[in-house]
Amino acid sequence: EAQVTQNPRYLITVTGKKLTVTCSQNMNHEYMSWYRQDPGLGLRQIYYSMNVEVTDKGDVPEGYKVSRKEKRNFPLILESPSPNQTSLYFCASSPRDSLNEQFFGPGTRLTVL
């Protein structure tokens, strides 16, 4: 089944404790992206990647890092999480020739205390 998977689905952590949210897709998509969803703000892009070893900032990149060492994986790294990063995070992927057809993962709900 074609899908985007994220782990963990739920995470509660404390300020300053490094964490990684994994994202994996099995559709051989070149493009991958991370969004955060906050009430009343919709979804906002954090980082994106056009292909392996190619990443770039989205609209709200502060406090996040990403890497793209393999085509299928695009982890989101919070090196020193803060409470304002409490949010619902979505990973998405799409083919390079159809950037607008994005497939979304199930989401990761992160709480930073």
Partner 1 sequence: AQSVTQLGSHVSVSEGALVLLRCNYSSSVPPYLFWYVQYPNQGLQLLLKYTSAATLVKGINGFEAEFKKSETSFHLTKPSAHMSDAAEYFCAVSGGSQGNLIFGKGTKLSVKP
Binding site for partner 1 (CB under 8 A): 31, 33, 35, 40-45, 48, 50, 56, 58-59, 90, 94, 99-102, 104-107
Tell me if residue 9 falls in helix, strand or coil: coil
By C-beta, is 58 or 63 nearer to partner 1? 58
By C-beta, is 47 or 81 nearer to partner 1? 47
Give me the least distance between CB of 98 and partner 1, in Å please. 9
Give me the least distance between CB of 52 and partner 1, in Å please. 15
Give me the least distance between CB of 27 and partner 1, in Å please. 14
Distances (CA, A) of 6 to 40, 96, 97: 23, 21, 24
By C-beta, is 79 or 101 nearer to partner 1? 101
By C-beta, is 14 or 53 nearer to partner 1? 53
Give me the least distance between CB of 70 and partner 1, in Å please. 19
- 75 vs 80: CA distance, rounded Å: 15
DSSP for 40-108 reads: TTEEEEEEEEEETTEEEE-S--TT-EE--SSSSB--EEESS--GGG-EEEEEEEE-GGGTT--EE---E
